[in-house]
Amino acid sequence: MKAEIIAVGTELLLGQIVNTNAQYLSQELAALGIDVYFQTVVGDNMDRLQEAIRTAQKRADVLIFTGGLGPTQDDLTKDALAAVLGRSLHLDRLAMDHVEQFFKDRSRPMTENNKRQALSIDGASPLPNSTGLAIGNALSEDGKHYILLPGPPKELMPMFEEQVKNWILQHVLTEEKPLYSRMLKFAGIGESALETELLDLIEGQSDPTLAPYAKESEVTVRVSTKALSVTEAEEKLDALEAQIRARLPENLYANEDVPIEKVIVDLLTEHHLTVAVAESCTGGLLMGNLTAIPGCATVFKGGIVCYSNDMKEKLLNVPHDLLEGEEAPGAVSKETAEVLAEQVRMVMDADFGLSVTGVAGPAYSERKPVGLVYIGLSERGKPTTTFQLNLKGNRETIRLRSAKSILYQLWRRLNERALV
């Protein structure tokens, strides 16, 4: 089964965005056992788009399109494929209701061009868009399969996960055994270190297969097996997971595709514990990620972004002579991280207090190097622990890694407790 991914969008050809959709879809298709032979990027141009479709028809069985489903004049994917297949477009009633409701709810007038987002190719299955307006399409003709997905990853990913996978299993991979996959999520370990740890398993693999999975600031492994029943699949996947867990008990934090924040919120809820956060260099990023998890309200008390030294003193009682003066350790120090974690825990009356203080760059501060970060973990009735990080990368990377590091330390602490 050969697939080609066709990304449609002039912004890709101008280099304004990176084609991350191609990577995501390639990984997903590989996991389904479908070989991607070509990835093509074409602009918002009717002739060249049709040309790309005809070229792909000659060399692939499954054509997956991303982008060009939006409301504007240069969103042409459905029109182009319909033209190539000699079909027409029609307005999908349900999708149209969804679009109209969207504008009604915002009491905004719906401009005419938005109807385009509810168009569907005749004979295609409409793929509802749970996170946006433009519907996708899926259809088969003459042994070729066509799947049209929206360009924004936050619309494309759920649509693929919730609908396209099943459609592929039902319409494309008909006589194959169904595929079962499981995501194993790791923290506190780098991708290459993980691969080294699991190298023999990766190389010796046949069934289940094991594939490291590249994700932003996360280390993930996907284990997959084809089986006749869920039970058979679960047994095989459990066995491999147990093997991996035995090697990396302090890093494997979940066996489903959830961020570590989710696992932390669940553990805190389960143990009726609360957390508060004091952030300096991460400036709210950590709390922003934590509060992205539904239900965090019961375990997250709140936090303080004490960006300036004044606020560290005023709101979190950091002693002045700790922050300033020739001999002072300064804001970016083990000592300050410790006080911040303890104080925010007390001010917010939480069971745990987390702190991050460091130099995110691009400029150094306190004559300390970019990437030097101290994180603190305070727990009611226990001595506070701090960790020094020496991070590489740009401001964004350093901030993200700092936030992930203290969350990892909290997870370890909660994990020990769970094991007790």
Interface positions, 347-366, toward its own copies (CB under 8 A)? 347-349, 361-363, 365
- What tokens were used for 29? 């298709």
What's the min distance (Å) between Cβ of 214 and its own copies?
A: 6
Reference 342, options 355, 332, 324; nearest CA is 355
Site string for its own copies, 382-401 (x = CB under 8 A): --------x-xxxxxx-x--
What's the min distance (Å) between Cβ of 170 and its own copies?
A: 23
Reference 53, options 36, 78, 33; nearest CA is 78
Contacts of its own copies in 235-264 (CB under 8 A): 257
What's the min distance (Å) between Cβ of 377 and its own copies?
A: 18
Contacts of its own copies in 276-315 (CB under 8 A): 277, 279, 282-292, 294-297, 300-308, 310-311, 315
56, 40 contact by CB (below 8 A)? yes
Task: State the amino acid at position 333 in one-letter form.
Answer: S
Residue 368 within binding range of its own copies, rule CB under 8 A: no
Q: Which of 88, 128, 131, 162 binds its own copies (CB under 8 A)?
A: 131
Site string for its own copies, 165-204 (x = CB under 8 A): ----------------x--------xxxx-xx-----xx-
* Tally of helices (H runs) and strands (E runs) in the chain: 15, 17
For its own copies, which is the closer residue by CB, 131 or 243?
Answer: 131
What's the min distance (Å) between Cβ of 420 and its own copies?
A: 28
Residue 42 within binding range of its own copies, rule CB under 8 A: yes
Which 3 state secondary structure label does DSSP give 259?
coil
296, 375 contact by CB (below 8 A)? no
Contacts of its own copies in 220-239 (CB under 8 A): 222
For its own copies, which is the closer residue by CB, 38 or 123?
Answer: 38
What whole-number distance in Å separates Cα of residue 70 and Cα of residue 91?
A: 14
Contacts of its own copies in 10-39 (CB under 8 A): 10-20, 22-28, 30, 35-39
For its own copies, which is the closer residue by CB, 123 or 212?
Answer: 212
Residue 78 within binding range of its own copies, rule CB under 8 A: no
What's the min distance (Å) between Cβ of 216 and its own copies?
A: 7
Q: Which of 88, 97, 113, 128 binds its own copies (CB under 8 A)?
A: 113
**Kind of pairing between the strands at 144-149 and 275-279:** unpaired
What's the min distance (Å) between Cβ of 243 and its own copies?
A: 19
Q: What phi and psi values does residue 271 have, to the nearest 5 degrees?
A: -95, 10
- The DSSP H or E segment spanning 97 is helix 93-105
Residue 114 within binding range of its own copies, rule CB under 8 A: yes
Reference 301, options 274, 278, 325; nearest CA is 274
For its own copies, which is the closer residue by CB, 138 or 370?
Answer: 370
What's the min distance (Å) between Cβ of 83 and its own copies?
A: 18
What's the min distance (Å) between Cβ of 141 and its own copies?
A: 23
Residue 48 within binding range of its own copies, rule CB under 8 A: yes
Compute the C-alpha angle 144/145/147, nearest 5°: 150
What whole-number distance in Å separates Cα of residue 403 and Cα of residue 388?
A: 13
Q: How many angstroms separate the most distant Cα atoms in the chain? A: 78
What's the min distance (Å) between Cβ of 123 and its own copies?
A: 27
For its own copies, which is the closer residue by CB, 172 or 304?
Answer: 304
Q: Is 339 exposed, middle or buried (0-12, 13-18, 19+ CB in 10 A)?
A: buried
Reference 358, options 384, 340, 378; nearest CA is 340
303, 276 contact by CB (below 8 A)? yes
Q: What phi and psi values does residue 181 have, to the nearest 5 degrees?
A: -125, 160
